[in-house]
Amino acid sequence: MSALIKTVERELSLRLRLILIALFSLSHVHALDFTDAVPPDELAVAIVSAMSDEEALAQTFMLGWIGTAPSPLILDWIRQRRVGGVKVFGWNTDDTLALAKSIGEMQNTALADSASRAGDNFHIPLLVATDQEGGWIRHVKGLTSETPGNMAIGASGRPADAYWSGYYIGRELAALGINMNFAPDVDVYTNRDSVIIGPRSFGADPTAVAVLATAFVKGQSAAGVIATAKHYPGHGDTRLDSHGILPRIDAPFETLWERELLPYRFLAQNGLPAVMSGHLAFPKTEAGDGAASLSPWFLGEVLRQRIGFDGVVITDDLMMIGALSGAGSLAQAAKQALMAGNDILMFSSTPSLNASVWTTLLAAMKNETAFQARVRDAARRVLALKLRYLRGEDAVPLAPDIARIKEQVPDTEGAAFFLDLAARSVTLVKGELPLNPASAGRVLLVGEYGEFLRAGRRAYPNALTCRYNALSPSLIRASDTIIFCLADADGLPYLQSLRASGKRVIVFSVLSPVYLDEVPWVDGAIAVYSYAPVSFTAGFSALLGHIPAEGRLPFPLDAPRWTAP
């Protein structure tokens, strides 16, 4: 009798598996509309229960690759291991059409039957992710729009600007087959020396950051793209870069709750689908000296329980030094990350198929009941996310339409919007406007960006131009007004050299305007927040008086530190 029961159980299990395979293999072409009646969470539970350990573990991996075309190794991971996702980095993106073809090839590989695994394929599409925050951080280059960025949105102060920024950025990504974006950056701009965050932040007010980030997420979701808030718990109060070190942020939890964590609290109540955990240490909290990305307290007790976030958590790149600090090997860091509560492990390069990061985790699944349960729970969350976003008529296409990409990217509606946003965000920091050609006299444009010099010559046709290292006494003597483009600390010595020149000096600040604190002696200053062409156009339009400079600084120059109300 027991043998008969086992036979029936095996047959039922096989039938369930075949049904689930059919559901996923056909859902991407919308052939089984009745599956929409099954809630994604329930369907994800059923699929995970039918998966092997290898299949469940693979859903937690997201891998980068080197080169324009998919490498043989990344295709092996997709074909043989059925990896859950791939990450598009800047080094993959110079040729936009080639990128779209690569994404289509990888998705087709994921959905294809495998000769070595016949009858075992769930045909689950890939999460295809990138970092397209807008402004400074634009991993997908090529044809995509250069935009004013988050700090420009903070300067305009309009949630509608955040919504449409997320929407148009998302619409371009969707045209390329990219269905997940590691944006918005919701780091509060607390430490003005934070060169790694700077203009990526919406500003210094946690409430404003929360409102603008929520609008951005809504816009991106309207374009069909999965938004991911980062870098949890918050990267804005350190000048260090977690790519090369594990930063320590000496803030107590009470401060974090009202400052860094406030945007996440707001977003969790408004449908945020994903969070990226950052490699940051908060030694004055219960997490101690370790990375928050590996902390069960930060990810479990705080994010899941106190904040109530129920979406997917993905690590920042596990190959960053900050992730490995104190963890030991990459495999150990990956295991800690999953046990802490991350659902996706992100790697910037492709490990070999049988590298220790895979074999160690698979062995732990087979030998440790708690770890196996955690991995299956992570896979369930990943599958639920895919079922929620990658099916239906409005989903991002799995295979991009190559013939239409040049019609869709850059987005023509988006181009008009981003110019308007740049115009709304121009901020008069000091002095008076306009500075028309007649009152400016002989103009000297000094800056490192070619687009700044070209836009400046359009505004002041008779202007002289030079780069920093070509700034000479003869050029200074030949000018009445010097318009100096300042982007970072490297430009400050050249700007300071003009102090005793006796000339009128106007600073054209791009990126974060924090460096204006160092030059209180200048005659005037305006701020834009990116080096996108639209930002230079808007800035010179404001200088000429063609548009008002109605933006407001998203942080106070004279109060660098946030204090609790």
Q: What is the pLDDT of residues 52-68, one digit of tens each?
A: 999 999 999 999 999 99
Residue 26 has pLDDT above 60, yes or no: no
Contact 110, 95 (CB under 8 A): no
Question: Could you tell me the pLDDT band of residue 237, with boundaries at 50, 70 and 90?
Answer: confident
Residue 6 has pLDDT above 60, yes or no: no
Q: Specify the higher pLDDT residue, 555 or 563.
A: 555
Clarify whether 558 is annotated catalytic. no
Residue 126 has pLDDT above 90, yes or no: yes
In whole angstroms, what is the distance from residue 194 CA to residue 185 CA?
A: 14
Residue 187 DSSP code: -
Q: 3.20.20.210, 2.40.30.10, 3.40.80.10, 3.20.20.300: which CATH number matches 60-413?
A: 3.20.20.300
The total of other beta-carbon atoms located within 10 Å of residue 406's CB is 12
DSSP 3-state assignment of 200?
A: helix
> 469 — phi, psi (to 5°)?
-75, -5
Contact 364, 55 (CB under 8 A): no
Predicted confidence at residue 13, as pLDDT, reads 52
Mean pLDDT, the chain, as a whole number? 91
Q: Residue 219 contacts by C-beta under 8 Å, 6 or more apart in sequence?
A: 162, 163, 164, 165, 166, 167, 168, 170
Predicted confidence at residue 265, as pLDDT, reads 98
> 165 — phi, psi (to 5°)?
-65, -50
Predicted confidence at residue 194, as pLDDT, reads 84
Beta bridge partners of 547: none
Contact 13, 349 (CB under 8 A): no
Q: What is the mean pLDDT of residues 505-510?
A: 98
Residue 287 has pLDDT above 90, yes or no: yes
Residue 49 has pLDDT above 90, yes or no: yes
Question: Could you tell me the pLDDT band of residue 240, with boundaries at 50, 70 and 90?
Answer: low
Where are the domain boundaries for CATH 3.40.50.1700 in the chain?
Answer: 427-544
Residue 475 has pLDDT above 50, yes or no: yes
| CATH code given to domain 427-544 | 3.40.50.1700
Question: Could you tell me the pLDDT band of residue 323, with boundaries at 50, 70 and 90?
Answer: low
Q: What is the mean pLDDT of residues 78-89?
A: 97
Catalytic residue (one of 36, 53, 95, 243):
243
Residue 561 has pLDDT above 50, yes or no: no
Q: What is the mean pLDDT of residues 24-43?
A: 58
Predicted confidence at residue 118, as pLDDT, reads 42
Residue 513 has pLDDT above 90, yes or no: yes
Question: Could you tell me the pLDDT band of residue 496, with boundaries at 50, 70 and 90?
Answer: very high
Q: What is the mean pLDDT of residues 468-481?
A: 97
Residue 35 has pLDDT above 70, yes or no: no
Where are the domain boundaries for CATH 3.20.20.300 in the chain?
Answer: 60-413
The total of other beta-carbon atoms located within 10 Å of residue 288's CB is 12
Predicted confidence at residue 113, as pLDDT, reads 75
Clarify whether 235 is annotated catalytic. no
Do you know the residue count of the chain? Answer: 565
Q: What is the mean pLDDT of residues 334-343?
A: 97
Output the pTM of the full model.
0.92
Catalytic residue (one of 237, 316, 343, 411):
316
> 179 — phi, psi (to 5°)?
-105, 0
Question: Could you tell me the pLDDT band of residue 559, with boundaries at 50, 70 and 90?
Answer: low
Tokens representing 283 are 């030694």
By DSSP bridging, strand 504-509 and strand 524-527 are: parallel
Predicted confidence at residue 391, as pLDDT, reads 92
Predicted confidence at residue 122, as pLDDT, reads 84
Q: Residue 522 contacts by C-beta under 8 Å, 6 or more apart in sequence?
A: 430, 495, 505, 506, 507, 516
Q: Specify the higher pLDDT residue, 479 or 324.
A: 479
Question: Could you tell me the pLDDT band of residue 9, with boundaries at 50, 70 and 90?
Answer: very low
Residue 193 has pLDDT above 90, yes or no: no
Tokens representing 211 are 């409102």
